[in-house]
Amino acid sequence: MTARLAGKVALVTGAASGMGAAIVRRFRAAGARVHAAGLQPELLTALARETGASAAPLDVVADDAVRALVDGIVRAQGRLDIVVNAAGIIHEDDGATIDDAVWQQTLDVNLGGAMRVCRAALPAMQRQRAGAIVNVASVAAFNGSAGMASYAASKAGLIAYTRTLANCYGADGIRANCLAPGWVRTPMSEMEMHAAGAARGIDVEAAFAALTERIALRRIGTAEEMAACALFLASDDAAFVTGAVLVADGGARTPASARAP
């Protein structure tokens, strides 16, 4: 792999597992100095040992901790070129069953967390007149299904927020884009499929297999494939791309697959 991010300094939240960890690996392979932040210290330490990234515990809901981490990176490295907000949670709820605390927590992490990280990082990016922000949203922002009320709302808000960043800070050389994955095999999606399968009397593998009938490519995506998309958006290959939403769902939103049984 060519060093597409050579000399770049990146912060990745939600980095302990799933897409976040895959993005850390991909960015390190592309030559970036990566700071991997998340809530699972053992997994972060193992990832740092594997990749050479720096590991940092971080709760994106805690603004003081976010500011301290970003300021520390900028002091130590002299710059911050890339931010990837991959931290996220999901709870099952619908319009009539939304719990206020769950709604607030979901928005605080999925939308508020990205906002706090961006808010802390933007001054450094403005000073250096360059930066790339990649916020990990979801296709649920466009077609939230049953049980996705809080989650879909948080991801739709994240897309709207990202587009305001693109518009406000483009003149400063800062790009902001969203990656919107579809079904990807991660610990979070396995948790969802466990619940969905249990309701139908099937196991996790059978639940995943049933999903493929609604996906044009007839398979579930991988975290590594999402990391490749994030690398494109963060790199100079996407130098004229901002305010965009890169949907990576294997064609699950195409009309043909929407008609699949």
Active site residues: 151
Tokens of 209: 């297999």
| β strands within the chain, DSSP E | 9-13, 33-38, 54-57, 82-85, 131-136, 174-181, 245-248
Q: If 0-12 CB within 10 Å is exposed, 13-18 middle and 19+ buried, where does residue 110 land? A: buried
Instruction: Report the Cα 183 to chain-centroid distance in Å.
Output: 13
CA proximity to 19, closest of 88, 66, 105:
88
Entry field: residues in the chain: 261
Q: What does DSSP assign to residue 184?
A: B
